[in-house]
A = this chain, B = another copy of it.
Amino acid sequence: MAIRVAINGYGTIGKRVANAIAAQDDMTVAGVTKTGPSFGCELAVRRGFPLYCTSDEPGHITAFSAGGYDCAGGLSDLLGAADVVVDCSPGKMGGENLARYHAAGLKAIFQGGEPHSLTGLSYSSSANHEANLGADATRVVSCNTTGLSRTLVPLYDHCGSLKVECTLVRRAADPGDSRKGPINAIKPVLKVPSHHGPDLMTVKPEIEINSLAVAVPTTIMHVHSIIADLPKGHGLTTESVIEMWKETPRVIVMHGGDSRLTTTAEVMEMARDIGRKWGDLHEIFVWEDGAKLVGDRLYYFQAIHQESDVVPENVDAIRALMGTEPDWRASVARTDAAITACYGTG
């Protein structure tokens, strides 16, 4: 029987996770929540997802009808109809929500905006799927951490140790957000080292890592400039690292010069061509000609689609918590095949 998944919060991440779950044959969307009637409700209705209210207050629930939408009930009703909940709430409501999920007897998955301490357990498919098997609650790490995990974990697995420094050049606002700036400036994150890199250690404590971050006036992707120190005797070459990544799930390696995909603009255009909904790119993009091993020090660039790279990880995390698929590679293959069949031939 399919796993019934509640999506609490139907915004940038929630709407994508709902679609990805709907594409799987071992799980189903029990419902999604909105705070009130809005265009997001329209989307849920078109997709046939049962619509619930974030709140249990009758007044809030009936407001949906006034806006022309059928509301199936409050969050408690949704939790009663589900086996697991994916929390995609915007704010930092994790603590309050976790108590409710526990009370309802549900397993729960949070997003990277919440602290690791909320659940004491974090998740990234390639890093620690096994450690999450059967757990009550976990946190899928952020888009940046997920991106670092994708390329660094296989390196670590080969080398047995890894010391990393990276600079995260971040988009300052998402494409649908017109309020945030800057229009013409670079904004360093003055807390150094930044929290971004070390967050990787919540899913792979063996990797030593620090980071610096700057925000820049673009909306479409983050770019990481990464320096990884490999241990002596690693036996790798630039070419063999590239080969390793080409065989890594959810990593795309392309030669920027040959493909003319030399900036995030062209990479995102390629993603639109592939045809997933929202023009998403779940994979991390690595420039083949931007990677070089100099002695034991590896330099490379990767681009991260901040809106979508964590989406398939949420699907895998459901299988981990429910204990239905102990092998991370099997889960990843199943997740990706289903998404691709529905939403584009990545």
Residues of B within 8 A of A300 (CB): 192
Give chain A interface residues in 166-204, CB to chain B under 8 Å: 167, 169, 171-173, 175-188, 190, 192-193
Residues of B within 8 A of A220 (CB): 175, 184-185
Contact yes or no, B210 A299, CB < 8 A: yes
Which residue of B has the minimal Cβ distance to A218? B184
Category for how many chain A residues contact B: 35 or more
State the CA gap A15–B297 with chains docked (Å).
Answer: 42
Stretch touching chain B among A95-103, A129-137, A260-268, A327-335: A260-268
Choice from B181, B264, B278 contacting A177 with Cβ under 8 Å: B181
Residues of B within 8 A of A55 (CB): none
Contact yes or no, A192 B299, CB < 8 A: yes
Query: Chain B nearest CB: distance from A147 CB in Å?
Result: 14
Copies of this protein in the complex: 4
Query: Chain B nearest CB: distance from A193 CB in Å?
Result: 6
Interfacial residues, chain A to chain B (CB-CB below 8 A): 15, 38-39, 43, 46, 165, 167, 169, 171-173, 175-188, 190, 192-193, 210, 212, 214, 216-223, 225, 227, 256-257, 259-266, 268-270, 272-273, 275, 277-279, 287, 289-292, 294, 297, 299-301, 303, 345
Show 16 A/B contacts (Cβ-Cβ < 8 Å), sorted by A. Answer: A175-B269, A178-B182, A179-B180, A179-B182, A181-B183, A183-B217, A183-B218, A185-B221, A186-B223, A187-B264, A188-B225, A190-B289, A192-B300, A193-B299, A214-B301, A272-B277
